[in-house]
């Protein structure tokens, strides 16, 4: 009998995105803006797929069947995702344009400041998922249902690979 993967295993994607964002910021600190933009694009690609998996596969089931407290309301996840998408778009624009800014140091500090705010939003969001969305779904779904949902996930299994393949390219 094969072991059923828990829905919560999908939260491992958060470690991959955290690392890519860290690499993006480290490249910014080294004034390597081309690399910073590359890492940010890799980060965006994985995060968007992950959020789409959550919105298209997990959240509809969660909204319909889960009993959750206000702090774990389905709408909050969609709202956070919308804010996250908007921030990433702005960061990409800033990173792409930073070299032509009249004062690069000042522009870089403003960008890092906005990114610090964004990272707090993300860590709140990830905590909300770890406290409600994922454990509630794991408690609620049968093994067959979990298998069916996991089969519909875009990112399942190939996330670490994507991260590595980007890193190899960028060196």
> Which residues make up the interface to Fe ion (CB under 5 A)?
54, 129
Nearer to Fe ion, 44 or 129 (CB): 129
Q: Provide, rounded to whole angstroms, the least separation between the CB of residue 48 and Fe ion.
A: 11
Nearer to Fe ion, 58 or 108 (CB): 58
Q: Provide, rounded to whole angstroms, the least separation between the CB of residue 50 and Fe ion.
A: 6
Q: Provide, rounded to whole angstroms, the least separation between the CB of residue 64 and Fe ion.
A: 18
Measured distance CA(96)–CA(90) in Å, rounded: 10
In Å, what is the CA distance from 134 to each residue of 8, 33, 61, 107, 154? 5, 36, 12, 38, 17
Q: Provide, rounded to whole angstroms, the least separation between the CB of residue 98 and Fe ion.
A: 28
CA angle 133, 61, 147 (to 5 degrees): 90
Q: CB under 8 Å to 7, separation ≥6 — which residues?
A: 58, 134, 137, 138, 141, 146, 149, 150
Nearer to Fe ion, 73 or 96 (CB): 73
Nearer to Fe ion, 22 or 31 (CB): 22
């Amino acid at each position: 009998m094969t072991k059923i993967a828990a829905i919560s295993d999908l939260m491992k994607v958060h470690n991959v995105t955290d690392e890519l964002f860290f690499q993006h910021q480290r490249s910014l600190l080294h004034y390597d803006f081309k690399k910073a933009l590359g890492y940010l694009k890799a980060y965006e690609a994985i995060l968007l797929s992950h959020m789409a998996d959550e919105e298209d596969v997990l959240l509809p089931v969660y909204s319909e069947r889960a009993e959750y407290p206000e702090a774990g309301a389905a709408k909050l996840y969609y709202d956070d995702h919308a804010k996250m998408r908007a921030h990433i778009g702005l960061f990409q624009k800033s990173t792409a344009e930073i070299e032509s800014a009249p004062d690069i140091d000042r522009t870089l500090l403003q960008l890092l400041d906005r990114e610090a705010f964004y990272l707090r939003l993300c860590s709140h969001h990830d905590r909300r998922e770890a406290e409600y969305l994922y454990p509630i779904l794991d408690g609620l779904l049968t093994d067959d249902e979990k298998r069916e949902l996991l089969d519909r996930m875009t990112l399942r299994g190939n996330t670490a690979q994507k991260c590595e393949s980007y890193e190899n390219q960028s060196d």
